[in-house]
Each structure stands twice: as C-alpha cells, then as structure tokens.
C-alpha cells in the first residue's frame, strides 16, 4: 500500500510541564500526516471535498503504543501507510521515529463520509471512489 514520510521538529507548545510531548499532540501530528499522505498521492483535501462531494474521512477508531517520549527540539520522522482499504473505510498506520528508533506506533480506522442523497442534513459512509483507491494502493 501507499506510504509517505515526513519530518518535524517538536515545538515548545507540544510539550507538557514535564517537558515531554503531551500525548494528544501526537494525534494531531498523525491527523496531519494522514492529510500529507493523501496529498503525496495527488489528493489534496480541498480537492477531495469538491471533486468527490465528500465531507471528509473522520477517525472512528484509534490506538497507540508509546515506547519512547519526545521532548522540545527533538527531530522526529513520521512514516504513514495505508494498510487496508474497504468499501467505505480504510486503516492507516503511523510510525514515529526518534533518532531512528520507533517511538510511537498508532493505528487508525477512518470512514469516507458524504451527505445523504435524500437528507442534506445527514452524513453517511460512502463508497471510496475507485480513483482514490487506485492512487492509495
């Protein structure tokens, strides 16, 4: 499946009073990494919303294993991969490396969501377009 890598520097505002990354910040990093993955596949989020009449691809399940903490100023690398694509949902794995060592592994399940054709106020899971599947595999 498709993989993207990006690097980032841990900022002061990412850290808690103990000087390590406050764990919800990792999930923000991973959410951004999902957007970077789609962009690397040629799918900018703003274009996805227009072209495929999608609302987005919200997370419905996530879990993480924290192995090594990160602190202000650390340079980290995040490797994000699609691991499975189903009709309307897909799984992603994020691996955050610090100095070449696996620091965190996070998995997500996301659902492709659009408006119900019969009720404009209702959001529903939609089939992931074949073109999108092809770009991500």
Q: What is the pLDDT of residue 116?
A: 77
Q: What is the pLDDT of residue 77?
A: 98
Q: What is the pLDDT of residue 15?
A: 97
Percent above pLDDT 90 for the chain: 78
CA distance linking residue 71 with residue 81, whole number of Å: 25
What does the pLDDT average to over 36-52? 89
pLDDT digits (tens, 9 = 90+) for 106-126: 999 999 998 877 777 788 899
Q: What is the pLDDT of residue 58?
A: 93
What does the pLDDT average to over 30-34? 96
Domain 3-136 indexed as CATH 3.40.50.720? no
Q: What residue ranges do the domains of the chain occupy?
A: 3-136
Q: What does the buried/exposed string (b/e) look like for 68-98 if buried means 16 or more CB atoms within 10 Å of the residue's CB?
A: eebeeebebebbbbbeebeebbbbbbbbbbb
pLDDT digits (tens, 9 = 90+) for 64-103: 999 999 999 999 999 999 999 999 999 999 999 999 999 9
pTM summary value: 0.90
* Helix (H) or strand (E) run with residue 56 in it: strand 54-56
Mean of the per-residue pLDDT values for the chain? 93
């Amino acid at each position: 499946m498709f993989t993207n890598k990006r690097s980032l520097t841990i900022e002061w505002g990412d850290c808690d009073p103990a000087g390590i990354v406050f764990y919800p910040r990792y999930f923000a990093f991973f959410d951004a990494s999902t957007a970077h993955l789609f962009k690397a596949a040629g799918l900018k989020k703003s274009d996805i919303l227009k072209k495929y009449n999608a609302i987005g691809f919200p997370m419905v399940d996530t879990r993480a294993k924290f192995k090594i903490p990160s602190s202000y100023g650390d340079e980290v690398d995040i490797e994000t991969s699609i691991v499975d694509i189903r009709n309307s949902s897909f799984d992603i794995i994020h691996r955050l490396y610090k100095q070449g060592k696996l620091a965190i592994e996070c998995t997500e399940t996301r659902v492709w969501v659009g408006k119900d054709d019969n009720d404009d106020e209702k959001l529903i899971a939609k089939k992931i377009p074949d073109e999108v599947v092809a770009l991500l595999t």
